[in-house]
Every structure is written in structure tokens, then in C-alpha cells.
Amino acid sequence: MNPLQRSLLPLGVLLAACSSEPASFDAAAPDVRLGFDVPNTRDVPRVDRGPAPEVVDLTDVPPLTDGGMRDGPCAETLPDSYRFGSEGGRRPYSTTYSISAPRRFLLERAFPDATPARCETTIPACGAADDVTVDTLASALASADVGAAFQGAAASDAGTVLYGVDERPSDGALFFLERGGRFVYVGAPCRTGSGAPCTPAPVGVQRLVDVLSALAEQESRRPVCAAVLGDGGA
């Protein structure tokens, strides 16, 4: 190799190195246009606000009974006179109850061959600690379902309306509520698949039955009634 060839050898090596492609680069990748990285909504940092607040469940909270928190004024008297009780069943006596304004409760028990038993009490005032007060009773009587029931009784030829099943033919009992000669009867719950026509008791009517039954038991246990009945109550 002559001196000229030896002087050109480094230049040839340098050109070969520049013309060869690096193994780490992808020659097929297109050129990326230069530009600015504009932040979008996904790039905006989110502030951690903590867990979502729990939903407050008020279904098990008893309603407020304070006079200042009520939707309306507390009832102090009954709106009308009613008579109620049960018909049928194998009992040696029959018991009927009457309520009238302002807060009168009357119990009458009749026997086939004995002197009738009778006692009278005053229904507790609104705010009393008793289970059934005059306000509880007046609210149940004012239900739209109860008003519609008596309207149905007035429109019928017999002056009565029946909800549920009448089990008196099989020695069952039937609850009755009477006002002004019109009767609302509530029997056993309707049976699915029985085939017989049956109208379930509306919610307001059934609630009134429960309230009146509780009132009868409550007032029957008063000393004046317990002494007359001689059995400790209804």
C-alpha cells in the first residue's frame, strides 16, 4: 500500500460509518412533525375530593310528634260518632264500642242471660303517652280511603261495603264500623286463586281497623272497665 492509499483509508472508514444505519433505529418509521404538546382535559390534574357522602336513610326514623313540628294542629276532638266491633265467632257474649266527640269511649258487652256490662272512659288527649290518642284516632278517621268506603256503603242498596273475605258462615268473625246507619265490613285477607270475588281493604281502612282495635284493648284495660268486665280487658 502506497502512502496515498494509507492517507485515504481513514476517510473511507469515516464515510462508511456515516452511510451505515444504526441497528437501534427503525428506518421505516415516518418523520414526526415538530410541534407543541398542548394539554387536554385528560392532562389536567384532578383534585381528590374524598369518597362520596353517604345517603341518609330516614325510613326507620320515627315521625316527630312535637306540636311545633307537625304538618297541622293537633286534633282535640273526634270528627263524628262511630260504632265498631266484631260480628260472628263463637263467643258467649257480644261486645260493641262507641266513640263520639269530644273524646268519649263507650264499651257495652251483652250476654244472652245476664245483665249487660258497660263502662265509659275518656280517650287520651293529644300528646299523651298512651298508644292511641284522640289525634291518632282522628287522623285515621280522616283518611281518604275511609271516606271512600262510606261513600261506597251509601251508594249500595244494603248500605254496606265489604272488604276481604266474610268468614261468618264458618264461625269466623267480621270487623264492622258503623256511621249514620252505613256499615263498612272488613274480613279476612283475600285468598289468591280462590275464584270468589274479593276486594282487598285499602291501606287507610286497614290502618283504621288496627287503630280501633288497639283503642278497644287500651281502654278496656282501664280500671273502670276492667272492674266491670271482670276479665282484665277485652
Yes or no: say if 94 and 111 are a contact pair by the CB < 8 Å rule. Answer: no
Listed residue (131, 123, 121) closest to 76, CA to CA: 123
**What angle in degrees, to the nearest 10, is found between the helix axes of 203-220 and 134-141?**
150
Choice between 208 and 34, residue whose per-residue pLDDT is larger: 208
- Could you report how far apart the first and last alpha carbons of the chain are, in Å? 135
pLDDT recorded at residue 55:
46
pLDDT recorded at residue 196:
77
- pLDDT category of residue 191 using cuts at 50, 70 and 90: confident
Is the pLDDT at 227 greater than 80? The verdict is yes
Burial 142-166 (b: 16+ CB within 10 A, else e): ebebbeebbebbeeeeeeebbbbbb
Alpha carbon 97 to chain centroid, angstroms: 29
Q: Where are the domains of the chain?
A: 77-229
Q: Which of 27-31, 49-53, 85-89, 145-149 has the lowest mean pLDDT?
A: 49-53
Listed residue (233, 228, 183) closest to 213, CA to CA: 233
Full-prediction pTM beyond 0.75? no
Average pLDDT over residues 57-64: 42
